[in-house]
A and B are shown apart, each in its own frame.
Chain A
Amino acid sequence: MIELFNSANDAVCGFLGINSYLQGVIVMVCINVIAVLGMSVLTGFTRLFSFGNAGFMSIGAYTTAILAVQFKVNFLLAIIIGALFAGLVAYLLGSITLRLNGDYFLITCLGFGECVRVLFNYTKNLTGGSAGYPGIPPYSSMLFSVICAVIAFFVAWRFIHSKYGRNLTSIRENAMAAEAVGVNAYRTKRMSFTFSAIYAGWAGALYGGYLMYIVPSSFNLAKSCELITTTVIGGLGSLTGSVLGAIIVTVLPEVFRALANYRMLLYGIAVVMIIMFKPSGLYGYKEFSIKRIIAFFRNLGKKKAPQPVAASEQGEEAEKK
Chain B
Amino acid sequence: MFLQQFVTGISVGGIYALLATGYSLIYSLLDFSNWAHGEFAMVGAYVAIVFSTMLNVPFVPAALAGIIGGAAISFLCERFAYRRIRKNGSPNMFLMIAAMGLSTVFQQAANLIFSGQYRSYPFKLPISTVHVANAYIGVLDLLSLVITAVILIGLVYMINKTQFGLNVRAIACNAPAAKVLGVKVDKSIASVFLLAGGLAGVAGILYGMKYNVFPTMGNVGLKAFISSVIGGLGSVPGAIVGALLLGVLETLVSGYISSSLRDFFSFALLIVLLLVKPSGLFGVEVQDKA
Contact = CB atoms under 8 A, between A and B. Distances in A.
Given A176-B288, A268-B101, A272-B81, A49 B93 contact: yes
A295 interface: no
A228 B104 CA distance: 14
B271 A112 contact: yes
Interface string B241-276: 000000000000000001011011001101100110
A211 B270 CA distance: 33
A232 B91 CA distance: 13
B97 A122 contact: no
B84 interface: yes
Given A221-B222, A276-B81, 14 more contacts: A96-B275, A97-B271, A100-B274, A102-B93, A104-B278, A112-B271, A115-B264, A264-B104, A264-B108, A268-B102, A271-B100, A272-B98, A275-B90, A275-B101
A100 B261 contact: no
A3 interface: no
B78 to A, nearest CB: 13
A268 B105 contact: yes
A225 B100 contact: yes
13 contacts: A100-B274, A101-B278, A107-B270, A108-B270, A225-B100, A228-B100, A268-B102, A269-B101, A271-B97, A272-B101, A275-B90, A275-B98, A279-B88
B264 A118 contact: yes
User: Which residue, A102, A112, A232, A272, has most C-beta atoms of chain B within 10 A?
Assistant: A272
A265 interface: yes
Interface residues of B, number: 41
B264 to A, nearest CB: 4
B74 interface: no
Contacts of A221: 222
A269 B268 CA distance: 33
B270 A122 contact: no
Contact of B101 (A107, A176, A271): A271
A261 B116 CA distance: 12
Interface string B149-184: 000000000000000000000000000000000000
B55 interface: no
Contact of A115 (B96, B271, B288): B271
Main secondary structure of the interface of B (DSSP, over half): helix
B40 to A, nearest CB: 15
A276 B85 contact: yes
Nearest to A51: B100
Contacts of B271: 97, 108, 111-112, 115
A115 B266 CA distance: 9
Contacts of B274: 97, 100, 104, 107-108, 111
B273 to A, nearest CB: 10
Interface string A251-282: 00000000001101101111110011001000
Contact of B94 (A114, A265, A275): A275
A175 interface: yes
B270 A229 contact: no
Contacts of A176: 288, 290
Contacts of B275: 96-97, 100, 108
B54 interface: no
Contact of A265 (B90, B109, B229): B109
A115 to B, nearest CB: 5
B132 interface: no
A119 interface: yes
Given A265-B108, A276-B81, A111 B100 contact: no
A175 B288 contact: yes
Interface in B61-118: 81, 84-85, 88, 90-91, 93-94, 96-98, 100-105, 107-109, 112
Contacts of A319: none
Interface in A284-319: none
Contacts of A276: 81, 84-85, 88, 98
B76 to A, nearest CB: 12
A228 B97 contact: yes
Nearest to A111: B267
B227 interface: no
B33 interface: yes
A262 B271 CA distance: 36
Contacts of A47: 91, 93
Contacts of B84: 276
Given A100-B278, A265-B112, A111 B94 contact: no
A229 B100 contact: yes
A119 B100 CA distance: 25
Interface in A63-100: 96-97, 100
A196 to B, nearest CB: 16
A189 to B, nearest CB: 14
A262 B111 CA distance: 10
A284 to B, nearest CB: 13
A264 B100 CA distance: 12
Contacts of A229: 97, 100-101
A176 B288 CA distance: 9
> Considering the complex of A and B, which 5 residue pairs feature the smallest CB-CB distances, nearest first?
A271-B101, A268-B104, A268-B105, A265-B108, A111-B267
Contacts of B261: 118, 122
Contacts of B267: 111-112, 114-115, 118
B216 to A, nearest CB: 10
A262 B113 CA distance: 11
Interface in A233-250: none
B97 A261 contact: no
